[in-house]
Amino acid sequence: MDQILPSPPHRSYIGPGRLWILACAALLLVGLALATGDLDRMQRLASERYGASGQESIGAWRQVLADSAALDTEDQLARINTFFNRRLRFLDDDIIWGTKDYWATPLETMGRRAGDCEDFTIAKYASLLLLGVPREKLRLIYVKARIGGASSPITQAHMVLGYYPTPEAEPLILDNLISDIRPAARRPDLFPIFSFNGAGLWTAGASASSGDPTARLSRWRAALERMREEGLDLPR
């Protein structure tokens, strides 16, 4: 880390108060650079592609973002989780998109008002980033889910969103299968396989991998590119 050296005598002195203001401004600019959205563009595209229904859906999303901006993080998690779980229908990709595995953007998901588990998770992830939740605290988690409870012999691939208050903390799980947010220990029906965000990719019980996770997740990369074209720029 570079040393911070005292200013030469002939330079003007920046007092502690001004330094604090400058530091806060710098942090704000960094935060804005992490996740940005041209929400007016998204609403126009929703109207063009999906008509009045799509425009209304994006409008409702913008409202919940505005209403959640001043809340603490756990309340933001609850508000966003509830919004998508109530607004969207669960449908398979072959019904919505006519293909086996399609990762939709939040605009596409809200325009159709339907999605599968990946679509719910991506929409929640993007929304929380826009609210200023640090990327490092959020991971999209692939799991095997026991359908019907922890003792069920029936499993299927599933995706949820994890919120990590600290790097080593037990995550809180946002899931479209249930309405409430629970710590991972209270979800014995879920078995994590791997998780990722824009900063790394983790396998169960392993540390962060090096390199770009999108290199291994082509559908994620494609969804990020479409998001950018639609006006939603998430940190890579």
What is the domain partition of the chain in residue ranges? 37-233
Q: Which residues, in sequence order, are CB contacts of 201 under 8 Å at separation 6+?
A: 194, 195, 208, 209, 211, 213, 216, 217
CATH class of the domain whose range is 37-233: alpha beta
What confidence score (pLDDT) does residue 204 get?
76
What confidence score (pLDDT) does residue 206 get?
53
What confidence score (pLDDT) does residue 205 get?
59
Cα 195 to chain center, whole Å?
A: 12
Which residue bears the tokens 């600290």?
A: 166
Cα 110 to chain center, whole Å?
A: 15
Q: pLDDT, tens digit, for every residue of 182-235? A: 999 999 999 999 999 988 888 875 555 555 555 568 899 999 999 999 999 998
What confidence score (pLDDT) does residue 35 get?
76
Lateral strand order in the sheet of 182-183: 182-183, 172-174, 155-163, 138-146, 190-196, 201-203
Return the half-sphere exposure (C-beta side, CA atoms, 13 A cut-off) of residue 159.
20
Cα 83 to chain center, whole Å?
A: 14
What confidence score (pLDDT) does residue 74 get?
96
What confidence score (pLDDT) does residue 97 get?
96
Phi and psi of 230, rounded to 5°?
A: -85, -5
Q: pLDDT, tens digit, for every residue of 81-93? A: 999 999 999 999 9
Rounded Cα distance between 139 and 203, Å, is: 12
What confidence score (pLDDT) does residue 34 get?
54
Rounded Cα distance between 77 and 222, Å, is: 26
- pTM score over 0.95: no
Which residue bears the tokens 């969103």?
A: 161
What confidence score (pLDDT) does residue 153 get?
83
**85 and 58 in contact (C-beta within 8 Å)?**
no
Give the chain's residues under pLDDT 50.
1-33
**Adjacent-strand bridge partners of 141:** 160, 195
